[in-house]
Amino acid sequence: MMETEKVKCLIIGSGPAGYTAAIYAGRANLSPVLYAGLQPGGQLTTTTDVENFPGYPAGIGGPELMEDLRKQAERFGADLRYGIATAADLSKAPYKITIDEEKVIETETLIIATGAAAKYLGLDDEKKYAGMGVSACATCDGFFYRKKTVAVVGGGDTACEEAVYLAGLASKVYLIVRKPFLRASKIMQERVMNHDKIEVLFEHNAVGLFGENGVEGVHLVKRMGEPDEERYDLAIDGFFLAIGHKPNSDIFKPYVDTDEVGYIITEPDTPRTKVPGVFAAGDVADPHYRQAITAAGSGCKAAIEAERYLSAKGII
């Protein structure tokens, strides 16, 4: 038999959404338990400088920001633990979440703040240059490439949006597209094709990066595998991935609604899922903004909803 523990409020995930939920739930005397998940601190721990989070006029390192949020949650009595949610049973309350395949938490309310992982090409160089020229978020990191040359990988709406956004900052943007066409909507295609700073490289694959103290260029292959295949290097300062995100929602899918990508669908303008007492906050439920500040805001909403739910049921 697995060990079982009963709690009033369980939070899964430790990014801005999870920690903010823990701050609010702690202040509401819900005695929240938070499991940090695969990446304690979330995606922000892979970001060197955060300049767009309100309250830090000089900017702050991603890991430092998450450490501040963690300490704030602890100050209000949140029980923060390391562990990964490996299974879920949301068929009836109390809901059961298995941690590390060895312990079951029974909870009256659940806040899912498991985030979404950016998809990468799988190149070793992406890891090598993480935070040194490789990014999966133009709105997070584009500012650091003002008047520089960057490349964006992808051919969908997100890639086109990122390319246009970066073109407002950088001196030159290359859009690396594997196919001979763009998958993006007509309007985004036109914006990209008509922009004087953006050059689209169709039928190109990025196969590696190079540079001494950061990204200085990309190894490209044109028409890979074809008889007229060409290989050449292109000088760039930044390499942006825009090939999508994968929400970390798999274990919850039998119980909550998700879109075709896996983002949890909540009631409009709320963190409420279709399961009473189960809430989704942050990037796992946000295909649109994916910012630390919007995640934090949704974590606040989720904790307030959890407190109201528990109060209405007479549990607190």
Mind telling me the catalytic residues?
137, 140-141
Residue 77 φ then ψ, to 5°: 90, 10
Q: Which of 62, 61, 56 is nearest to 44 (CA)?
A: 62
Residue 203 backbone dihedrals phi, psi, to 5 degrees: 55, 40
CA separation for the pair 266, 259 (Å, rounded):
10
| Residue that is written with structure tokens 């309250």 in the block | 55
Between CA 69 and CA 65 the distance in angstroms is 6
* Alpha helices by DSSP H, the chain: 16-27, 62-75, 124-128, 138-141, 157-167, 186-193, 292-312
Q: Is 299 helix (H, G, I), strand (E, B) or coil?
A: helix
Give CA–CA dist 213/312, Å, rounded: 57
Dig out the tokens for 42 from the structure: 């979330």
Report how far residue 72's alpha carbon sits from residue 61's, in angstroms, rounded to the nearest whole number.
17
In this structure, how many other beta carbons lie within 10 angstroms of the beta carbon of residue 304?
16
